[in-house]
């Protein structure tokens, strides 16, 4: 057992937290920001489970990351909206790696974002988005909770979005619901030594944003930030790293906006 220590200090690597010996699950990790988060954790010594509904892509991602990092990586195919699948994810993680220290609920559906109004949203689309973005986070948390409770320690980090506070259709509704889920889970799991927090990124310069947001829209979002630039995976991971570390042992039930100051314009 590796208890979370209140007196932990960071090594000399520029304030980087050392995750040697920790086991991290990242969902939706086959590509995009999830892949980056998995790579960052592995670079800092964690054993990482690359979990994704695209099992073959997850396997390829885990193999790629393993070439350049010191952490152990395994790939697991998972449908986060299926309770049988999420339980199997948790069971395999414990069977192969012995424990679960950090769960990053990153899997999500961005979909058509602002291009589909709530009035015109079909039932099936609503159910799919809510099923992955909200129910998926709940099911993954339910799956790892028994192990974390036995350990009397754990970190659960839900990836929300600035879209929770903007008119963004069912996506925005799902992310605001995720924030409330974060708060509710934190209240239930806190007595077991488990923290639950959410990170809500703003305009991030990555493949998904380039695919979904037209250049003019991205320029408008960047102009609305204090920093006058798009965010990066590293910017977001700075907050994830903190919440997963010993330094955040008394931080729970919070949603942190990481968006260059854009929230001040909402």
- Catalytic residue set: 171
DSSP for 171-196, please give it.
HHHHHHHHHHHHHHHHHHHGGGTEEE
Query: How far is residue 98's CA from residue 92's CA, in Å, rounded to a whole number?
Result: 9
For 115, phi then psi, to 5°, come to -80, -10
64, exposed or middle or buried, with CB in 10 Å at 0-12, 13-18, 19+? middle
Q: Is the Cβ–Cβ distance between 183 and 136 less than 8 Å?
A: no
Q: What percent helix, strand, coil does the chain show, rounded to 5?
A: 50, 15, 35
- Angle at 188 (CA atoms; ends 186, 190), nearest 5 degrees: 60
């Amino acid at each position: 057992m590796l208890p979370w220590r209140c007196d932990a200090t960071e090594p000399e690597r520029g304030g980087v937290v050392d995750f040697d010996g920790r086991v991290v699950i990242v969902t939706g990790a086959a590509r995009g920001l999830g892949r980056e988060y998995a790579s960052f954790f592995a670079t800092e010594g964690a054993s990482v489970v690359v979990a994704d509904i695209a099992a073959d892509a997850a396997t390829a991602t885990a193999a790629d990351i393993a070439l350049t990092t010191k952490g152990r990586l395994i790939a697991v195919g998972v449908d986060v909206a299926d309770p049988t699948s999420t339980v199997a994810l948790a069971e395999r993680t414990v069977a192969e790696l012995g424990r679960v220290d950090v769960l990053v609920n990153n899997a999500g559906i961005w979909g058509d974002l602002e291009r589909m109004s709530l009035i015109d949203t079909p039932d099936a689309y609503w159910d799919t988005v809510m099923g992955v973005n909200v129910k998926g986070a709940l099911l993954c948390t339910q799956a790892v909770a028994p192990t974390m409770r036995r350990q009397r320690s754990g970190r659960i980090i839900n990836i929300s979005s600035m879209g929770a506070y903007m008119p963004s259709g069912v996506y925005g509704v799902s992310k605001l619901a995720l924030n409330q889920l974060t708060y509710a889970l934190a209240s239930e799991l806190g007595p077991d030594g488990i923290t639950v927090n959410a990170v809500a990124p703003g305009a991030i310069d990555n493949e998904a944003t380039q695919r979904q947001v037209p250049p003019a829209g991205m320029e408008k979002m960047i102009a609305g930030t204090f920093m006058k630039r798009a965010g990066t995976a590293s910017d977001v991971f700075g907050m994830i790293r903190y919440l997963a570390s010993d330094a955040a042992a008394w931080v729970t039930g919070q949603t942190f906006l990481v968006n260059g100051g854009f929230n001040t314009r909402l």
